[in-house]
Amino acid sequence: MATNNPGDILTCDWNPVIGCQRFSTACRKCRYLDGIFPWQQRLGNIPAQVRPNEAWVFEKRMKVEALKPKRGVIGICQHGDFFWDGIPDAVIERVLGIVEQTAAARRNPAKYVLWTKQARRMAEILARRWPRGIPDYLAAAVSVEDQASADERLPHLVSVRGGTRIAVAEPLLGPVSMATFVDRVDWLIVGSETGGEDALALDPAWARVLRDQAQAAGKPFFIKQLGKRHDDGLRVLDGRTWDERPAGFEK
In a domain? residue 247: no
Domain span at residue 43 reads 2-241
The pLDDT of residue 202 is above 50: yes
Taking residues 221-242, report their average pLDDT: 91
pLDDT in tens, 161-177: 999 999 999 999 999 99
Q: Confidence band (pLDDT; 50, 70, 90) for 232?
A: confident
Taking residues 198-225, report their average pLDDT: 97
In a domain? residue 251: no
In a domain? residue 237: yes
pLDDT in tens, 115-126: 999 999 999 999
In a domain? residue 248: no
pLDDT in tens, 60-73: 999 999 999 999 99
Q: Write down the pTM of the prediction.
A: 0.96
> Average pLDDT, whole number, for the chain?
95
In a domain? residue 250: no
Taking residues 222-245, report their average pLDDT: 92
Taking residues 171-193, report their average pLDDT: 97
Domain count, the chain: 1
pLDDT in tens, 6-33: 899 999 999 999 999 999 998 899 989 9
The pLDDT of residue 179 is above 60: yes
Report the CATH number that the domain containing residue 122 is assigned in CATH.
3.20.20
Q: Confidence band (pLDDT; 50, 70, 90) for 3?
A: low
HEC letters along the chain: CHHHCCCCCCCEEECCEEECCCCCHHHCCCHHHHHHHHHHHHCCCCCCCCCCCCCEECHHHCCHHHHCCCCCEEEECCCECCCCCCCCHHHHHHHHHHHHHHHHHCCCCCEEEEEECCHHHHHHHHHHHCCCCEEEEEEEEEEECCHHHHHHHHHHHHCCCEEEEEEEECCCCCCCCCCCCHHHCCEEEEECCCCCCCCCCCCHHHHHHHHHHHHHHCCCEEEEECCCCCCCCCCEECCEECECCCCCCCC
The pLDDT of residue 200 is above 90: yes
In a domain? residue 131: yes
In a domain? residue 180: yes
pLDDT in the model for residue 1: 46
Taking residues 228-240, report their average pLDDT: 88
In a domain? residue 220: yes
